[in-house]
Chains A and B, each alone.
Chain A
Amino acid sequence: TQLLEQSPQFLSIQEGENLTVYCNSSSVFSSLQWYRQEPGEGPVLLVTVVTGGEVKKLKRLTFQFGDARKDSSLHITAAQPGDTGLYLCAGASDSGYALNFGKGTSLLVTP
């Protein structure tokens, strides 16, 4: 199993602040996905990054895949209470079918 380490584990910030969460591994992935999971719901896919060095933007969220395809980051600009949730990264290898999930970063944005 390819392990994914996410940091920080918990993050509590005020509305309007910026933040970055990290997803690191010693393994190389064919792609890496970021999900957001709200309480009582299943994870929802935010983005898939495939190419080393790739940067994708989704409104106020910026995702980056490391050059070596072993790590990724998620940056949120001007966080809003609606951003509250559990952010999960998941890596896929081209030799297997399974997605390996990290433990997640629990984000709380207060007004």
Chain B
Amino acid sequence: EAGVAQSPRYKIIEKRQSVAFWCNPISGHATLYWYQQILGQGPKLLIQFQNNGVVDDSQLPKDRFSAERLKGVDSTLKIQPAKLEDSAVYLCASSLLGTPYQETQYFGPGTRLLVL
């Protein structure tokens, strides 16, 4: 079974530029998550989709971050414009149903973003 795929694996941009990340979850998984992991910290949930609807985006900085999940499968996360503090690893995860206390989340390898 193929895992969660993410691209690109690495990205270096200058502040105020835009960047987009792509995620393809495990086939059949209804729930997709985007996390931000800053160096030395644990992952922080940015947004959770159930199929193509948003379940939780309370920690997404909506003035610069946006995300979509078209057709309930692939997802993109965009930052526009980027700030220095956005340097982090952006992890995508998926799960079958979306009940964190009952099931496993499968993580992709992440996209490492460096903002100069």
Contacts and interface: CB of A to CB of B under 8 A. Distances in A.
Partners in one complex: yes
Interface of A: 4, 29-31, 40-45, 48, 50, 88, 90, 92-94, 96-99, 101-104
Interface residues of B, number: 24
Contacts of A90: 42
A54 B24 CA distance: 35
9 contacts: A31-B102, A42-B4, A42-B108, A43-B107, A45-B104, A90-B42, A96-B56, A97-B56, A103-B41
Query: Chain A: interface secondary structure?
Result: loop
Contact of A43 (B43, B45, B99): B43
A74 to B, nearest CB: 15
Contact of A45 (B4, B55, B102, B105): B105
Given A42-B4, A44-B107, A97 B43 contact: no
Contacts of B98: 97
A7 B93 CA distance: 25
Given A42-B110, A103-B42, A92 B100 contact: yes
- Which 9 pairs between the two chains have the least Cβ-Cβ distance? A42-B107, A101-B42, A92-B101, A92-B100, A31-B101, A30-B101, A98-B45, A99-B100, A45-B104
Contact of A42 (B48, B91, B104): B91
A88 B42 contact: yes
Contacts of A31: 100-102
B72 interface: no
B61 interface: no
B41 A99 contact: no
A97 B55 contact: yes
Interface in B51-110: 55-56, 91, 93, 98-102, 104-110
Contacts of B104: 45, 48
B101 A50 contact: yes
Contacts of A40: 109-110
